[in-house]
Amino acid sequence: MKCPYCGFDDSKVIDSRPTDDKIRRRRECIKCSGRFTTYEAIEKPLLMVEKRSGGFEQFDKQKLIKGIFTAIKKRPVTKAQVDDIADYVENYCADRLKTVIKSEEIGNIVLDRLREIDPISYIRFASVYKDFTDIASFVAVISEFDENKAN
């Protein structure tokens, strides 16, 4: 790490502590004794989502969270639970070294997690995700939910 004061190429770490998604390091230049702070962050690989239309877009965690929040509106689901679902999707891809994931797979993961948390949120999310066009579609998902819950 170059010293911002004298440009020397070597420094020593005096203090290191985690902050948010980064590690904060306090450094001291070996040549001029100038002190400065650096931040070390993990670089996540680019994750692309394959849409139903066949197109691709970059995975947007905030977009996923917003979609889940639409389904859980006025339901007893916490922000922490929503964040956990979004984190799970990201970690699922990272653990499997995926760089491309189908939107259908993301939807199924979210549905599986919502099924465990709140049945109404599950049905709301399913209605948008599975693009319900009639009452029979709702009845089928509710029946499926009841069957899975009975097992």
DSSP assignment of 43-95 equals -PPP-EEE-TTS-EEE--HHHHHHHHHHHHTTSS--HHHHHHHHHHHHHHHHH
In this structure, of 6-15, 80-89, 120-129, 142-151, the range with the lowest mean pLDDT score is 142-151
Q: Tell me what pLDDT residue 126 has.
A: 87
Q: Is the pLDDT of residue 42 over 90?
A: no
- Number of other CB atoms surrounding residue 11 within 10 Å: 21
Q: Is the pLDDT of residue 32 over 70?
A: yes
Q: Tell me what pLDDT residue 22 has.
A: 87
Phi-psi map region of 80: left, alpha, beta (phi>0 left; psi -120 to 50 alpha): alpha
Q: Tell me what pLDDT residue 20 has.
A: 76
Q: Tell me what pLDDT residue 94 has.
A: 86
In terms of pLDDT, which residue wins out, 151 or 68? 68
In this structure, of 26-35, 36-45, 89-98, 113-122, the range with the lowest mean pLDDT score is 36-45
The pLDDT tens digits of the residues spanning 56-110 come to 999 999 999 999 999 999 999 999 999 999 999 998 998 888 999 999 999 999 9
Q: Is the pLDDT of residue 23 over 80?
A: yes
